[in-house]
Structure 1
Amino acid sequence: MKFPILALTGIAFLAITQGCVSTKKYEQLQSSYNELQEKTRDINQKYQSSQQELSGSSSRVKSLEEQIASERSNVASLQAALNKCLTSSSQGNVNISKLVDEINSSNKYIQHLVNTKNKSDSLNMVLTNNLTRSLSREEMRDVDVQVLKGVVYISLSDNMLYKSGSYEISDKAGETLSKIAKIIKDYKDYEVLIEGNTDNVPISKVNIRNNWDLSALRASSVVQALQNTYGVDPKRLTAGGRGEYNPVAGNDTDAGKATNRRTQIIITPKLDQFMELIGKAPDTTKQ
């Protein structure tokens, strides 16, 4: 029985001696642990942002792929009709020429759809990269930025921007709005729509009739702050309110209501600029 006793004694001794870590060493380990936790949060937030962007791009890709599949099916049908004509009488020669033209036209349109998809993806990538350069990793925590079909969407919650139950800009919103102004100035040739949104809880203020009023007043407050405090050209700005009628979550929970209470800043390229990148579909009516 001596050996087990000695073994247990040795293990206890090691545990005691190894457990004795100096205060300085403990603080160093604690600091390293905190840094790792911070990096982990940053990575998770970056991952969530990337997932949202990927979801929007995937929707666009799916739509184009469906069009491509439809056109390819049309080509297959035309090819089958052509083969049938080849085995028919000499009168089919006229039809053969027409089918060949239709097949060539369909093939051109398929290529156009492929090119459109590639250009759309490239446009979204360029905008996303430019936004990433404009904002630091720390700044990205404060705003939700998405790029969908060439349009930049920046969403801010009401508790970040406004005083409780009011349309007045809060003191703590200044730093966030300065970042938004920086992005808007980077895209100086783009139009900017400030859009207010609320939950479905009726507002009870003497000078505010309903959620339409509240959402519009909040959007107007942001527009005037961007103009007067941060020097954004007012000719580029539009303020609008959508009240409770554009929810992005259910209003049956507090979390859903908080998500719906938001102000969205939408940076949109002018139509002629966007069409230069996308191009026009070929005319398939001409033979």
Structure 2
Amino acid sequence: MKIQVLSSLALVLALLSQGCVSSKKYKDLEASYTQLQEKSRELNQKYQSGQQDLSGSSSRVKSLEEQIASEKANVAALQAALDKCLNSSSQGNVNISKLVDEINTSNKYIQHLVNTKNKSDSLNVVLTNNLTRSLSREEMRDVDVQVLKGVVYISLSDNMLYKSGSYEISDVAGQTLAKIAKIIKDYQGYDVLIEGNTDNVPISQTNIRNNWDLSALRASSVVQALQNTYSVDPKRLTAGGRGEYNPVAGNDSEAGKMKNRRTQIIITPKLDQFMDLIGKAPEKATKAE
């Protein structure tokens, strides 16, 4: 694409240098050049989106592989116990049958775990794609979307969300929050945690004691905006502040401090769904199938 653009530009310059191109021909060439530039930008945007999807998929695959490996290790241990039982004349048929049942149940639990994770991952991929497609290129500069181990993290920069040195939502943040709120409302089976984070620079305001207060107040502002302005069910929302103690970069530079000053919207399956999955011992796996 870049070669085509350069070729078109070279043609325009050559014709102009010879002084033999008409005004209409020049405009046509100029329009072609503009179209090529736009196509180049679109391809670059699709490439960036593809890279984000690939990164999220890799994280999900790694998490699933770790869980499957753990369950396979349990199966191997049970199989070893069974082999030992078969080689020992002191063990009865009842114990052998019990071990066989445990192995079969554990295998079913592995399959149940794989199916559950695949379903969760598929929903999260759709959720993430819907969100990133709804945001403009300008909004994506202040918004980072990631999927890690089945949880969707939407990180919003403080520059976009809040007025300087304040916990009040800025006017420019409204359009972005509206798009995020729509995605949240579309996925009713998910809980939403709003988590405020700061850098390590002490706050110097009479009504805010420290960075703990500031991070919690900012998270609360986003929660109340989602509830009051965008009609998100407050029962699904939780506000929390982590102050300066959850940095993603060093605080020894302005760039690092800027990354640490963020508010994360964390979208997860409801807690009872997680507990239901965790609490399903292998003997209950057959009921879930």
- How high is the TM-score relative to the length of structure 2? 0.77
CA contact (8 A) 1:116 1:279 kept: no
Structure 2 vs 1, CA of residues 79 and 236 (structure 1 numbering), >3 Å: closer, same or farther?
closer
The farther-off stretch of 43-52 and 175-184 is 43-52
Deviation at 1:67, TM superposition (A): 0.9
Distance 1:137 1:35, change over 3 A: farther
Deviation at 1:110, TM superposition (A): 3.0
Give the 3-state SS of the residue equivalent to 1:92 in structure 2. Answer: coil
Question: Alignment partner for residue 14 of structure 2, among 19, 30, 37?
Answer: 19
Tell me the equivalent position of 1:105.
102
Residues 106 and 56 from structure 1, CA distance in 2 versus in 1: closer, same or farther, beyond 3 angstroms? same
Q: Which amino acid aligns with 2:133?
A: S
Cα RMSD over matched residues? 3.0
- SS at 2:163's partner residue? coil
Show CA shifts across 1:72-127 (max 9, x none).
43144224414533xxxxx4352x54134214312421331232023112212123
Moved more, 158-167 or 101-110: 101-110
Decide which of 109, 120, 124 is 2:121's aligned counterpart: 124
The answer for unaligned runs of 5 or more in structure 2 is 1-9, 17-24, 285-289
CA 1:128–1:242 in structure 2 vs 1: closer, same or farther (change >3 Å)? same
User: Which residue is equivalent to 1:251?
Assistant: 251
Larger deviation: 131-140 or 110-119?
131-140
- Which residue is 1:60 aligned to? 63
Return the alpha-carbon distance in structure 2 between the equivalents of residues 213 and 221 of structure 1: 12
The verdict on how the C-alpha distance between 1:247 and 1:117 changes in structure 2, with shifts beyond 3 A counting, is: farther
Where does 1:10-89 land on structure 2 (aligned, <5 Å)? 19-20=14-15, 22-85=25-88
Trace 1:111-260 onto structure 2 (pairs within 5 A): 111-133=108-130, 136-139=133-136, 142=140, 143-260=143-260
Between the aligned partners of 1:188 and 1:76, the Cα distance in structure 2 is 42
SS at match of 1:57: helix
| SS of equivalent to 2:116 | helix
Identity of aligned residues (%): 51
CA shift in 2, pair 1:69/1:274, >3 Å: closer
1:177–1:73 CA distance, 2 compared to 1 (3 A): same
- Segments of 5+ residues of structure 1 without an aligned counterpart are 1-14, 86-90
Displacement after TM superposition at 1:148 (Å): 4.1
